Amino acid sequence: MWSRRFLWTGLSSGAVIAALTLAALWLAFFAALGGKDPTRSFANFTIFAAPGVIAYPACWYAIIFRVRDYSLYRTTVLVAATFGAVCGAVAVIMMTGGIYVGITMVLSVAKPWRAVPFVVLGPLAYALWTVIGAVIIIVPYTIIATPMALLHRWLLLRRFASTGPAAPGTRASLPVPQT
């Protein structure tokens, strides 16, 4: 089961699952907020979760494939780790944007010493916005991402689970699905 084919299938299907999760998250916010125009919806803030399309396969590799343990516990750890990785990536991007805004303000005003606090406070404000966004999105993310990760697990195990004994050095913590 733990072959190169399983790895590449897991990584590529993980990106697809992450993209579907992002789309479902957007749709959930759009429906819950009663939006009428998709281009001007508050649900569009879910675009900040787009790094998850890269983070989920990377976390899947680190948490599932490298350890060679695709248990339910590892799958829930995968969901939590992906959320943390995306929040971290968004925080870094936002704080970099805050530094850019602060420096731009210092360079563009007539009295630059008045804008110097923005170089320090800008990144902190953007980090605060990231935390607020994480708090808003954590429950819907958990409700949507956990079943998607379990679906990903089920599909991969259904396709790649062997009927023979576990390979030496791996844990046989999964039942073999019956077809």
Model confidence pLDDT, tens digit, residues 163-173: 555 555 555 55
Q: Is residue 29 part of a domain?
A: yes
Query: pLDDT of 92-128, one tens digit each?
Result: 998 888 888 888 888 888 888 887 887 888 888 888 8
Q: Is residue 86 part of a domain?
A: yes
Residue 15 has pLDDT above 70, yes or no: yes
The first and second tokens of residue 112, run together, are: 């630059």
What are the Cα distances from residue 122, in Å, to 16, 91, 95, 108, 157? Answer: 35, 12, 7, 16, 46
Number of domains within the chain: 1
Question: What's the pLDDT score for residue 165?
Answer: 55
Residue count of the chain, please give it.
Answer: 179
Q: Is residue 63 part of a domain?
A: yes
Structure-model confidence comparison of residues 162 and 159, the more confident one:
159
pLDDT, mean over the chain: 85
Structure-model confidence comparison of residues 79 and 40, the more confident one:
79
Q: Is residue 132 part of a domain?
A: yes
Residue 34 has pLDDT above 90, yes or no: no
Question: What's the pLDDT score for residue 116?
Answer: 81
Residue 22 has pLDDT above 60, yes or no: yes
Q: Is residue 178 part of a domain?
A: no
Query: pLDDT of 61-101, one tens digit each?
Result: 999 999 988 889 999 999 999 999 999 999 999 888 888 88
59 Cβ neighbours under 8 A, 6+ residues apart: 78, 81, 82, 85
Question: What's the pLDDT score for residue 123?
Answer: 84
Question: What's the pLDDT score for residue 42?
Answer: 79
Q: Is residue 46 part of a domain?
A: yes
> How is 39-86 classified by DSSP, letter by letter?
GG-GGGGGGGGTTHHHHHHHHHIIIIITTT---HHHHHHHHHHHHHHH
Q: Which domain holds residue 135?
A: 4-160
Residue pair 23/38 in contact (Cβ under 8 Å)? The answer is: no
Q: Is residue 170 part of a domain?
A: no
Question: What's the pLDDT score for residue 88?
Answer: 93
